[in-house]
Amino acid sequence: MAEKFYITTPIYYPSDKLHIGHSYCTVATDAMARYKRLRGYDVMFLTGTDEHGQKIERIADALGVTPQQYVDKIVAGVKELWASLDISYDKFIRTTDDYHVKAVQKIFKQLYDQGDIYKSEYEGWYCTPCESFYTDVQLVDGKCPDCGRDVERLKEESYFFRLSKYQDRLIKYIEEHPDFIQPQTRQNEMINNFLKPGLEDLCVSRTTFNWGIPVTFDDKHVIYVWVDALTNYITALGYGSDDDSNYKKYWPADIHVVGKEIVRFHTIIWPAILMALDLPLPKKVFGHGWLIIDGGKMSKSKGNVVDPKVLVDRYGLDAIRYFLLREIAFGQDGNFTNEALIQRINSDLANDLGNLVSRTAGMIEKYFGGQLPVEREETEFDASLKETAKAVTEKVDGLLDNMLFSDALAEIWTLIRRANKYVDETQPWILAKDEASKAKLANSLYNLAEAIRIVSILIQPFMTKAPALIWEQIGIKDDAIKTWDSAKEWGLLPADVQVKKGPAIFPRIDMKKELEELEAAMKKAQESSVANQTKKAEEAKKAQAERKEEEPVQEITIDDFDKIKLKVGTVIASEKMKGSKKLLKNQIKIGNETRQILSGISPDYTPEEMVGKKVIVLTNLPPRKMMGEMSYGMILVAEDENGQLALASVDKTDFADGSELS
C-alpha cells in the first residue's frame, strides 16, 4: 500500500484580493503535493477558507448582504483562482461547512467538560466604533490601531483555554523534535520569544459580534476564530463526525505550510489544543517568508498587491509558478518586481528551456525530416552531459524533500544549460554538412532529446502545462518514460523517435513595452475588484446617512404613529455594563412584565440615580444583542446640542406602569 502524505496550506480569509503573496504559499504546497504524487505517495492536499469573524460581518453589512451571502460569493472566486493556477488540492474546507461547525462545537465542549476551557473575564482596550479589543502592544500611540480613535479599558466575560498548562510540554516536544518547526530560525524564535517568557491562558470566545461558531452551552459566545480555523486540519478529515476514516488514514499531517507570521499559532496554540485532545501532533510546520514589494509585505491594506490573474493571463501559468518558486528561497522573504519576473521569463524560460526544445525539435525536423535514424555514433562530449543528468536527478529528490524549491530548480537548470552547451560543443549544423557525420549528428540530437525528456519529468511539480507541450513536440508518448523514476535512467527515449516542432513554449517578452502595459493592466484589475466595490458601498452608505441629516422632516400619518408602542415603566434595578463606559443595564417593570433594556446614558445618569425613575419605553423594537447582553426595547432619552442627556417621563410620579402612550 502506498505511503500516505498529508499536506496543508493555511485556510484563507475570504477576500477577493487574494494576491500573488497568497498564491505563493498555495503554489509551493501544490508543488510539494505533485512531487509526492509523482513519487507514488497517497497524497491528501488540503486547502480552504477561514470565513468567520467580525471583519466579514462588517463588510457584509456595508454591502447590504448577509455574511453567508458575502462569503459564498467570495469563495467561488477563491476556487476560480486556484483553478487558474492549477492547484491540485484534494479537499477544500470552508469553516462555514456544517460538519466543521459541529465538530468545532464538540471539541470546545469536550475541552470545557474536561477543564481545559474555563469561564472568566477578558480585560483589554476596547474601541467602541470598531467593536474590538486590543492589547497594550497592539495600540498605536495609545489609540485604536484600526481607526485611530480613543480606546477605553474594559472587561468582557469570556472563556479561556489553559494554554499555560501546556508550556513545559511544548518546550520539551519542540526540543526533542528538531524537525517540527522549519526553518530552524523560526524554532529559536518560538522558544525564546514566546515559550520561555511564559504563556498566558488564551481567550477563546467573544460576545461582541455574532458571525462565528456559537458555544453550544452558552450562546452569547462565539468561538475565537483561530480555534475555529486551526481545527480545520482535522475536521476536514472527518474528525468528530460519523465518518473519520480519512482522519485515521492521514493524521498526523506531514507538513503544515504556513506564512511566517502565523507560525506561532501553528506551533504553540495548535499543538496545545491537540495535546489537550490527546491527539498526535503534526510532523512538521514549515514557515515560509513573504513576498515583499518596495521593502514591505505585500498586503491589501497597503494597496500594493499584485493580482495573480493578470500575470497568468499575460505570461501563462507555468511562468508564474516557476518565478515564484525559483526567485525566492523558500523560507526567506523575497522581493517581487515586474522586472525580475520578465527577466526570469526571458532568460530561464525563453532562452534556456524554450530555446533548447525548439532548437532540438527544429534540427531533427530539418536534418532528418522529424525522425531520428537508429544508427548513432558517440562523441567525446556525451559522457559529461550524461553525468550531469545523473547528478541532477540524484540531487533533486533530496532538495524537494526539504522543500528547497529554488535549489531544486537551479539544479534542473544546470542540466538545461549543460544541454545548451552540448549543442555548441557538438555543433550539429557543421555535422549536417558532411554525410559521413550523420551518425554523430543523430547521436547529438538524440542526446539532446533525451536530456529534454529528463528535464520535462523533473519540472512536473512546478509546471503543469509545459511538460505535455514538450512531450508533444519531442514525441514522448509512452507513459513509462514519463514517470519520475524513469528520469534517473538515461537512454529510455526510443531511438527512432518522431519529432514535430511546435510554437515556442515560452515566447520572449519586450521588457520596456511590457512593463508599461503590465502596470496599466494591474491598475484596471484593481479598480474592478470587489474590495474596491466594498469601499465604494461603504462610502455610498456614509453619503446617504449624511444626506438624510439634511433632509426636511418627513410627515407621518396617525396610522404610522399607532405602530409605535410606548409604555410607562419604572426602573427597578440598574448596573454598569461590564466593558462599556456608556451603557447601563436596566431592569424595567412595565405592567406585569420586567424587561432588560440597555441604554447608553452613563455618565449622565448613574445606576443609583436610575433606580425608581419613571421612564418611557419603546416596547415593540426587535431584541438586540450589545456587548454580549440582550436588550428588549429602548428607553426614550432627549439629547441637547451639547450632547447632554435627559430621560423622558410622565409628570405624575405614582402613574401606573404599563400605561400606554398615545
Determine the residue type at 310.
Answer: V
Rounded least distance, CB 212 to ligand MSP, Å: 13
The answer to whether residue 259 forms part of the interface with ligand MSP (CB under 6 A) is yes
User: Binder to ligand MSP among 22, 37, 264, 418 (CB under 6 A)?
Assistant: 22
In angstroms, what is the minimal distance from the CB of 267 to ligand MSP? 12
Q: Which stretch binds ligand MSP (CB under 6 A): 257-265, 383-391, 494-502, 612-620?
A: 257-265
Closer Cβ to ligand MSP, 253 or 448, answer by number: 253
> Is the sign of the CA dihedral 457, 462, 464, 466 positive or negative?
negative
Question: Cα-atom radius of gyration of the chain, to the nearest Å?
Answer: 33
| Contacting range for ligand MSP; rule: CB under 6 A; set: 146-154, 160-168, 259-267, 544-552 | 259-267
Angle between helices 67-84 and 530-550 (to 10 degrees): 150
Stretch binding ligand MSP (CB under 6 A), from 4-12, 382-390, 527-535, 591-599? 4-12
Interactions with ligand MSP, residue window 266-325 (CB under 6 A): 290-291, 297-298
What string marks each residue from 200 to 229 as x (binds ligand MSP by CB under 6 A) or -? -----------------------------x
CB contact set of 258 (below 8 Å; sequence gap of 6+) = 9, 10, 25, 266, 285, 286, 287, 288
Angle at 317 between CA 312 and CA 322, to 5 degrees: 115
- For residue 442, the one-letter residue type is A
**How is the beta sheet containing 255-259 ordered, strand by strand?**
91-94, 42-49, 4-8, 255-259, 285-288, 181-182
Q: Which stretch binds ligand MSP (CB under 6 A): 165-173, 178-186, 254-262, 409-417?
A: 254-262
* Spatial separation of the C-alpha atoms in residues 242 and 257, rounded to whole Å: 28
Per-residue 3-state assignment (H helix, E strand, C coil) for 391-417: HHHHHHHHHHHCCCHHHHHHHHHHHHH
* Strand, coil or helix: 238: coil
CB of 260 to ligand MSP, least distance (A): 7
Find the helix or strand (DSSP H, E) in which 7 lies. strand 4-8
Q: How far is the CB of 447 from ligand MSP (least distance, A)?
A: 40
**634 belongs to the binding site for ligand MSP (CB under 6 A):** no
- Using the rule CB under 6 A, which residue among 34, 46, 50, 282 binds ligand MSP? 50
Among 13, 45, 209, 490, binds ligand MSP (CB under 6 A): 13
Phi-psi region of 570 (alpha: psi -120 to 50; beta: other; left: phi over 0): beta
Tell me the window of 20-28, 137-145, 146-154, 340-348 that interacts with ligand MSP (CB under 6 A). 20-28
462 or 490: CB nearest ligand MSP: 462
Q: What is the distance in angstroms between the CA of the first residue and the CA of the last residue of the chain?
A: 80
Q: How many residues form the binding site for ligand MSP (CB under 6 A)?
A: 20
Stretch touching ligand MSP by CB under 6 A, among 19-27, 64-72, 131-139, 442-450: 19-27
Element (H, E) at 101: helix 98-113
9-17, 312-320, 439-447, 583-591 -> range binding ligand MSP (CB under 6 A): 9-17
Instruction: Decide: residue 210, CB within 10 A, 0-12 exposed, 13-18 middle, 19+ buried.
Output: middle
- Cβ closest to ligand MSP, residue 272 vs residue 291: 291
Closer residue to ligand MSP, CB minimum distance, 291 or 452: 291
CB of 263 to ligand MSP, least distance (A): 9
Exactly one of 11, 103, 349, 448 binds ligand MSP (CB under 6 A); that residue is 11
**Distance in Å, CB of 93 to ligand MSP, minimum:** 10
CB of 224 to ligand MSP, least distance (A): 12
Instruction: Pick the piece of the chain touching ligand MSP (CB under 6 A) from 16-24, 52-60, 112-120, 612-620.
Output: 16-24
Q: In this structure, are residues 381 and 418 in contact, taking their beta carbons and an 8 Å threshold? A: no
Of 11-19, 407-415, 475-483, 548-556, the window that binds ligand MSP (rule: CB under 6 A) is 11-19
Q: Which of 247, 187, 225 is nearest to 46 (CA)?
A: 247
Nearest approach, Cβ of residue 172 and ligand MSP (Å): 24
Q: CB of residue 306 vs ligand MSP: minimum separation in angstroms?
A: 9
> Within 10 Å of residue 217's Cβ, how many Cβ atoms?
11
> DSSP assignment, residue 183?
S
Q: Which is nearer to ligand MSP, 57 or 657 (CB)?
A: 57
Query: Does the footprint of ligand MSP cover residue 170 (CB under 6 A)?
Result: no
Give exposure, 378-394, as e/b (b: 16+ Cβ within 10 Å). ebebbeebbebbeebbe
**Rounded least distance, CB 47 to ligand MSP, Å:** 10
- Touching ligand MSP, residues 227-246 (CB under 6 A): 229-230, 232
> Could you tell me which residues come within 8 angstroms of residue 71 by beta carbon, excluding any fewer than 6 positions away?
14, 49, 51, 56, 60, 94, 96
The H or E element containing residue 585 is strand 584-590
Residue closest to ligand MSP, measured at CB: 259
> How far is Cα 383 from Cα 380, in angstroms, rounded to an integer?
7
Min CB(234)–ligand MSP separation in Å: 11
Residues near ligand MSP, by CB under 6 A: 10-13, 21-22, 24-25, 50, 229-230, 232, 258-259, 261-262, 290-291, 297-298
